[in-house]
Amino acid sequence: MASEIHRASTTAPVNIAVIKYWGKRDPKLNLPTNSSLSVTLSQSDLRTHTTASCSPTYTHDELILNGSSQDVSGARTQACFRELRTLRKQLETTNPSLPALSSMPLKIVSENNFPTAAGLASSAAGFAALVRSIANLYELPASPTELSRIARQGSGSACRSLFGGYVGWEQGSQPDGSDSLAFEVAPASHWPTMRAVILVVSAAKKGVSSTTGMQTTVATSSLFPVRANDTVPRRMAEMQTAIQERDFESFAKLTMMDSNSFHATCLDTWPPIFYLNDVSRAAIKAVEAINHAAGKIVAAYTFDAGPNAVVYFEEENEGIVAGALRKLVGEKEGWKGEAKSDDAVVEKVVKEAGVVQELLREGVSRVICTGVGEGPVKTDEHLV
Amino acid sequence: MASEIHRASTTAPVNIAVIKYWGKRDPKLNLPTNSSLSVTLSQSDLRTHTTASCSPTYTHDELILNGSSQDVSGARTQACFRELRTLRKQLETTNPSLPALSSMPLKIVSENNFPTAAGLASSAAGFAALVRSIANLYELPASPTELSRIARQGSGSACRSLFGGYVGWEQGSQPDGSDSLAFEVAPASHWPTMRAVILVVSAAKKGVSSTTGMQTTVATSSLFPVRANDTVPRRMAEMQTAIQERDFESFAKLTMMDSNSFHATCLDTWPPIFYLNDVSRAAIKAVEAINHAAGKIVAAYTFDAGPNAVVYFEEENEGIVAGALRKLVGEKEGWKGEAKSDDAVVEKVVKEAGVVQELLREGVSRVICTGVGEGPVKTDEHLV
């Protein structure tokens, strides 16, 4: 018994918001100033794989990410550990025959299948996997919604990575955050043809962290309240309708407008915060040229707190959207399939967007081709 | 008598707003959605020189700018001609001994002392000079305030170029625009130490015209109404107080925040409008580094509808502000005086802002060193 090691593993996905989370009304509990909505991306391309283990032989809580030991003393990680142990403790109290896992130290080992250097927000997948794997280890009967309350305390947007497909995060109104939860807008199977190309842009320097940035925006931007209180609630409703109806044009326009609105409030922050650079703007011009050449909206850009462009499109338009982007960006690591170049629409885009081609070729370091995907998946491949 | 030519000449200044005009509530009359405030720049550095002439021998109205004939059939130019002729006609009716200038064709010849290629909004100085020179020709008793109502119909911001120093433009509320007028906040002599360096940034391509851009913002930005209705009115009052008290720190912070607010509403426009590029952002970083090194706000950036940075500072800080900018931007056409390089603050800025030095060196094509200046000046140097 002294050498017993309990373990459970999961993988968890990255999500990219189409209605952005920016601003906390409670920084300790990660309670947001507005609801948000994201698309969960396929774990074939981007995932965190995490094994949670506990043992009476362990001496202290430990978290190893991509081979290096992480600080677990932070309030966010501690909140997740504490909440999950409390739930396990309740089970153990109800059923004393269960092993007392809640009192054993935890060892969490986590690995991403994508380069950290890509500058992709990995904390969402990371905290979702951490919470989901410990919940599995503790055999908690908690639903993804209940776990989202816990994962949110680790990293706000992590709550959305507990679901696949199209996921909302209701801001809630309770001071304790009990109603600030993720929910499924639609499963991936409802609209499985959603694809995404991520243009990874090399930034000269890491920008302002989102945690610091969003609180400065809340404190100083005179335009921010109208975004949080009026614009986002309206667009949340419109976006859910667009997803229910698989209306790509509405989905795309809302996605682009919300990204612009979010970055506008960053620029209106004092001192101003800039995440978009000339390469990001070139990606916007490229998407505008694609939509113009196609004669309708077939592609949507969105940018998180960094210069990387995420371009959503439907599978049926992969030839023109990914085809045109590939032609503009050039051959980089990450493209899938054969390059197409004979399409008339693609030729039209390159003609119209030729002015931004050099910026994209020089500024995009790699691409990731992916699509909508499932939520966390339990696995028997253990890292401990 | 058949060969008589009547003429009058003036020079008029450029103004650069510190509370921006963006959005028309009446596009025909150029009535703005919010009040604005600018600093008139010295005509030694930037001015339009215009001669208005009329003669019974002329066959048609004509406008020649920098040697090339301009279209005078546009509604804006026509509105100015019509309003001024109406005022002249009233004088002639009252005093029939006056020559009937109002019925003679006009020939206006105009020259800028700065390169058009600099991308500086010359329409403000241009229409101010046009209106002022015709008013001189017609010997109208109109005050600058009355003329501002006419110049506004030519180009909105032109109304502010009829005054020197610190100039407001009250948005007004009358549908006919009769109360949408420029007014003097303070003469140049009240705060004569205000200096400006303009970093002229070479843009790959001319952006969206301000006339088109501002109306798209009004129509599509969800953040714009709060700027026009709440943010600007508050800052207009604060800015006037800052100018009355010669409080540079308040003036500077309001200037920078208002520029950011304006560009934020451009980004929130659909489709989004970008005027700032990576070089503009590098100029912002440079100003932030200067203020950081100085330990207080000694410099303020502002950007109109283009990538050029205008940096305001007080004369006593010329050594560190212009000195640091010169060190970062490098030797370009337009710097005045000797380059300073031994200042400790300047060295600190270069150390902190070194990352943007390359962008500034490559992206700034020339500089203009100027300062606050006077309103239109009558001159006997005629161009006709």
Give pLDDT tens digits for B220-265.
999 999 999 999 999 999 999 999 999 999 999 999 999 999 999 9
Q: Tell me the CATH architecture of domain B194-371.
A: 2-Layer Sandwich (3.30)
Chain A residues within 8 A of B283 when measuring between CB atoms: none
Question: Which residue type does B176 have?
Answer: D
Q: Which residue has the tokens 């969490």?
A: A108
Whole-number percent of chain A with pLDDT over 90: 89
Mean pLDDT of A43-60: 97
**pLDDT on residue B343:** 84
Report residue A72's pLDDT band, with 50, 70 and 90 as the boundaries.
very high
Residue B363 · residue B279 · CB < 8 Å? yes
Report residue A114's pLDDT band, with 50, 70 and 90 as the boundaries.
confident
Q: What's the length of chain A?
A: 384
**pLDDT on residue B225:** 98
| Residue B100: Cβ within 10 Å count | 12
Work out the end-to-end distance of chain B between its first and last CA atoms, rounded to an integer number of angstroms: 18
Residue A15 · residue A41 · CB < 8 Å? yes
Would you call B288 and A274 a contact, using CB atoms and an 8 Å cutoff?
A: no
Would you call A231 and B222 a contact, using CB atoms and an 8 Å cutoff?
A: yes
Q: Cα distance from B117 to chain A (closest Cα, Å)?
A: 20
Chain B residues within 8 A of A282 when measuring between CB atoms: none
Non-local (6+) Cβ contacts of B74 within 8 A are: none
Distance (Å, whole) CA B281 – CA B286: 9
Give phi and psi for B262, each to the nearest 5: -60, -50
Q: Cα distance from A18 to chain B (closest Cα, Å)?
A: 15
Would you call A355 and B205 a contact, using CB atoms and an 8 Å cutoff?
A: yes
Is ipTM > 0.85 here?
yes
**pLDDT on residue B117:** 54
Nearest to B258 by CA among B31, B24, B36, B14: B36
Chain A residues within 8 A of B226 when measuring between CB atoms: 222-223, 225-226
Cβ-based contacts under 8 A for chains A and B: 74
Distance (Å, whole) CA B294 – CA B344: 10
Query: In this predicted model, what pLDDT tens digit does every residue of A360-369 receive, in sequence order?
Result: 999 999 999 9
**pLDDT on residue A117:** 54
Q: Where are the domains of chain A?
A: 6-191, 194-371
Which regions of chain B are under pLDDT 70? Answer: 1-3, 116-119, 121, 203-206, 341-342
Q: Cα distance from A370 to chain B (closest Cα, Å)?
A: 26
Chain A interface with B: residues with Cβ < 8 Å: 204-205, 222-223, 225-227, 230-231, 253, 256-257, 260-261, 263-265, 267-272, 274, 277-278, 281, 284, 288, 355
Mutation site for A-interface testing, chosen from B205, B229, B268, B273 by largest number of A Cβ within 10 Å: B268
Nearest to A79 by CA among A134, A38, A18, A4: A134
Distance (Å, whole) CA B222 – CA A261: 8
Residue B310 · residue B38 · CB < 8 Å? no
Residue A37 · residue A240 · CB < 8 Å? yes
- The half-sphere exposure of B32 on its side-chain side, counting CA atoms within 13 A, is 31
Helical segments of chain B, H only: 75-94, 123-137, 144-154, 210-220, 224-226, 232-244, 248-267, 278-294, 318-329, 344-363
Nearest to A282 by CA among B264, B277, B210: B277
Q: If 0-12 CB within 10 Å is exposed, 13-18 middle and 19+ buried, where does residue B205 land?
A: exposed
Q: What's the length of chain B?
A: 384
Distance (Å, whole) CA B324 – CA B330: 10
Distance (Å, whole) CA B156 – CA B304: 14
User: Taking CA atoms, what residue in B is nearest to A228?
Assistant: B223
- The half-sphere exposure of B73 on its side-chain side, counting CA atoms within 13 A, is 1
Distances (CA, A) of B252 to A147, B42, B239: 48, 19, 9
* CB contact burial A126-144 (16+ within 10 A = b; e otherwise): bbbbbbbbbbbbbebebeb
Query: In this predicted model, what pLDDT tens digit does every residue of A183-230 receive, in sequence order?
Result: 999 999 999 999 999 999 976 566 788 889 999 999 999 999 999 999
Work out the end-to-end distance of chain A between its first and last CA atoms, rounded to an integer number of angstroms: 18
**pLDDT on residue B213:** 93
Q: If 0-12 CB within 10 Å is exposed, 13-18 middle and 19+ buried, where does residue A331 land?
A: exposed
Residue A169 · residue A182 · CB < 8 Å? yes
- CATH says A6-191 is which class? alpha beta
**Cα-trace Rg, chain A:** 21
Question: Which residue type does B59 have?
Answer: T
Q: Name the residue facing A263 among B225, B226, B267 (closest C-beta).
A: B267
Non-local (6+) Cβ contacts of B368 within 8 A are: B45, B46, B114, B118, B120, B197, B198, B200, B334
Residue B102 · residue B81 · CB < 8 Å? no
